[in-house]
A and B are shown apart, each in its own frame.
Chain A
């Protein structure tokens, strides 16, 4: 059930990226989900939503999926080294990921957009964390 909700939110963010906003909102959202655990489901979601995002933004189908999967892998590698389930880590990871993503696809204002996306993802992660604590899951 929760993964259906995650998928619907992903579709909404994809529609936003395709029509209104040029920031990579989906990347920030996937980072927040990845830090909850269940890597195989997160990677599958990254694969599917990456394909949909490429279709909506007229890119080569599969390129965003590959970027998301590789970047999430790099983040999850730090699982034992740092406290990755924290707002500062989400902010920094999203900023760096957004910077690489925007430069890869030749966008403008990469620094401002990366910073903005970092704030967005941190806010999302904070909301997810608070709601998890309230439900007694953390």
Chain B
């Protein structure tokens, strides 16, 4: 009985201590997050890089060929946009458009159920508030949206993926202009919801961000690729139609991402 009482006394003391830590830790006293994070960084980096499963040679060749085709196609589009842009600039002499700053971050962590195979829950990058990063900043790769910054500490940031459950973004269909909301379903899956029945969606359409930047340039810029429609669910009795999306980004094999900061 005395042993039990001793155990209860111990538990009360330690629960009280952890409660005190909970209160103190909320204010990041002594910059403890930065100190501990930096101390464990080399080990985390080593573990993360050793867990990345290399893709086979044939798969690599096919992947590179596909990327080459995509880039050639985009080059043609970009040339056209460049000409249009030059013409518009000449017309309105507008050289004061706000420029977004981009910070490159190396991925040092991507915890998932099966390392190197499962879609991770979130990413950890080696850039933080000391590099100008704040919470809610968008994270991209090329022109595709990966997610948003959720917790930025001094030297590290947590990136919540766009496919995470409870993540939602306003989007539009690049081809038809249909508006909707992308919701993450977890496990690398996404759904476009709240699309009016009269709006057109087609399989293969590209879904891009609608944009919600404020006057300081913070927020999601428009035109970032979120995914491609793979299937559509449309019933006349429902208020809205839905579509499943596939992200163009292979998060498992990435090593660098880019954070769009404000001006």
Contact = CB atoms under 8 A, between A and B. Distances in A.
Interface in A73-97: 73, 76-77
Interface string A55-78: 111101111011001100100110
A69 B12 CA distance: 10
B238 interface: no
Nearest to A64: B18
Interface residues of A, number: 44
Nearest to B8: A73
A56 B19 contact: no
Would you call the interface of chain A mostly helix, strand, loop, or mixed?
helix
Contacts of A54: 25
A54 to B, nearest CB: 7
Given A22-B121, A55-B32, A55-B37, A65 B18 contact: yes
Interface string B120-161: 110010000000000000000000000000110100001000
A14 B153 CA distance: 18
Given A55-B32, A58-B158, A76-B7, A18 B21 contact: no
Contacts of A73: 7, 11
Nearest to A51: B21
Contacts of B14: 43-44, 46-47, 69
B15 A70 contact: yes
Given A47-B14, A47-B18, A58-B150, A19 B33 contact: no
B55 interface: no
B208 to A, nearest CB: 26
Given A70-B15, A113-B113, A19 B108 contact: yes
- Greatest chain B CB density within 10 A among A16, A17, A58, A108 is at A58
B124 A19 contact: yes
Given A47-B14, A47-B17, A66-B15, A107 B121 contact: yes
Contact of B21 (A12, A58, A62): A62
Contacts of A40: 10
- Greatest chain B CB density within 10 A among A16, A51, A61, A108 is at A61
A81 to B, nearest CB: 12
A124 to B, nearest CB: 18
Interface of B: 4, 7, 10-11, 14-15, 17-26, 28, 32-33, 36-37, 40, 43-45, 47-48, 51, 108-113, 115, 118, 120-121, 124, 150-151, 153, 158, 165-166, 186-187
Interface of A: 11-12, 14-23, 39-40, 43-44, 46-47, 50-52, 54-58, 60-63, 65-66, 69-70, 73, 76-77, 106-109, 112-113, 116
The 5 residue pairs across chains A and B that have the minimum distance between CB atoms: A61-B25, A62-B22, A19-B109, A62-B21, A19-B44
